[in-house]
A and B are shown apart, each in its own frame.
Chain A
């Protein structure tokens, strides 16, 4: 925590040691729902990175002007503006993916990561650091999303980014896709196992709650 204002550590911390999903338990809602395929997970991760970095930057620019009592509603309106931009962009250029993501792009507004970074970082740090912090959190979120999506798509439909990777003779030998991986419960269980993995790997630090 000492070198808090070093840009590199601000960028790297949220990717591993303070990962928003695995360690801080933020933003799980959308992480679970969009991870059936790698494609939607990637789009979701990029939208999230865009929204969290831009809104942190804006909030940090305005941090001396925002009155303390109404800061939540000001933050929410800044965040919603960026979410609307993202949603309109996706609907204009990637209509199929935006249909699959359905309400989850809109739910970035209430994603705890965005609000959390605004409250705990952007309000007390200069704009360029807040932007880097936002990008780092977006990547930390995205890396977990892609990991979960990779496992679910590979085991659930034998594909990777929509291309078949499990060879045909596996199927002719009797191998079958685990349809369970495509259902809701699998997402919960995979995230649980990933958290367990990361906690075991960082044994030296006390992360237990």
Chain B
């Protein structure tokens, strides 16, 4: 049981990295990786939101939406799973809003650091993607918790290393048209290649 959880964690951080293997959360990855400090801030915000929303969406899916999930109020034949997209995105948007209010109320310092990133996260594909993968792979509750946390760690690791590389790239002299976005994509490709080496390790 625990070995399985460790395996899911390592898999979601390295071999199945949410950004480098499944391309999720690219938009904010390209836009925010110009500066290491903002990258770290956004990384922590993503870890936080992912570890909260993934298990929450698990509960919602398995007790309200999945085929036969409504047996506890006497409706065993109802299948609401087609509503999962709209439910998940509503949960994510509501959670992000709630977290923003709570942080604002209790910790001004944390709010100053994370606050600006929270609205960005509601439309980050990595968050919704993790919830959808969690449904597709039939994770249990504990697994979904670990999977959400691990995906966040993997995403943060990728964006911080990208920000570090982009600082060095400022001194590079690429051909016309290649600077900025094009170069970022190619460097991301090389990073994805490096991360693929982890797939030789079996858990």
CA distance A26 to B30 in the complex (A): 10
Q: Would you call A200 and B27 a contact (CB within 8 A)?
A: no
Within the complex, the shortest CB–CB distance from B160 to chain A, in Å, comes to 18
By beta carbon, the residue of chain A nearest B188 is: A188
Flag whether A97 is at the interface (Cβ < 8 A).
Answer: no
Q: Would you call A102 and B85 a contact (CB within 8 A)?
A: no
**Chain B residues within 8 Å of A184, by CB:** 20-23, 192, 196
Neighbour of A32 across the interface among B26, B90, B123, B132, CB < 8 A: B26
Neighbour of B193 across the interface among A28, A185, A209, CB < 8 A: A185
**Chain B residues within 8 Å of A187, by CB:** 23, 189
Which residues, 74 to 115 on B, are CB-close (under 8 Å) to A?
82-86, 89-90, 93
Q: Would you call A80 and B85 a contact (CB within 8 A)?
A: yes
Stretch from B39-47, B49-57, B175-183 contacting the other chain: B175-183
Within the complex, the shortest CB–CB distance from B13 to chain A, in Å, comes to 16
CA distance A186 to B190 in the complex (A): 9
Q: Would you call B136 and A192 a contact (CB within 8 A)?
A: no
Q: Would you call A29 and B85 a contact (CB within 8 A)?
A: no
CA distance A29 to B31 in the complex (A): 13
Flag whether B116 is at the interface (Cβ < 8 A).
Answer: no
Instruction: Tally B residues with Cβ within 8 Å of A.
Output: 46
Flag whether B10 is at the interface (Cβ < 8 A).
Answer: no
Interface of A is mostly: helix
CA distance A81 to B89 in the complex (A): 12
Contact A199:B85 (CB < 8 A) given known A32-B26, A33-B23, A189-B189: no
Within the complex, the shortest CB–CB distance from A89 to chain B, in Å, comes to 11
CA distance A179 to B21 in the complex (A): 16
Within the complex, the shortest CB–CB distance from B166 to chain A, in Å, comes to 12
By beta carbon, the residue of chain B nearest A76 is: B89
Flag whether A122 is at the interface (Cβ < 8 A).
Answer: no
CA distance A134 to B139 in the complex (A): 37
Neighbour of B122 across the interface among A72, A107, A196, CB < 8 A: A72
**Chain B residues within 8 Å of A58, by CB:** none
List B residues at the A interface (Cβ < 8 Å): 20-27, 30-31, 82-86, 89-90, 93, 122-125, 127-129, 132-133, 136, 175-186, 188-190, 192-193, 196
List A residues at the B interface (Cβ < 8 Å): 25-30, 32-33, 72-73, 76-77, 80-81, 83-84, 87-88, 102-103, 106-107, 109-112, 115, 183-189, 191-193, 195-200, 203, 207-209
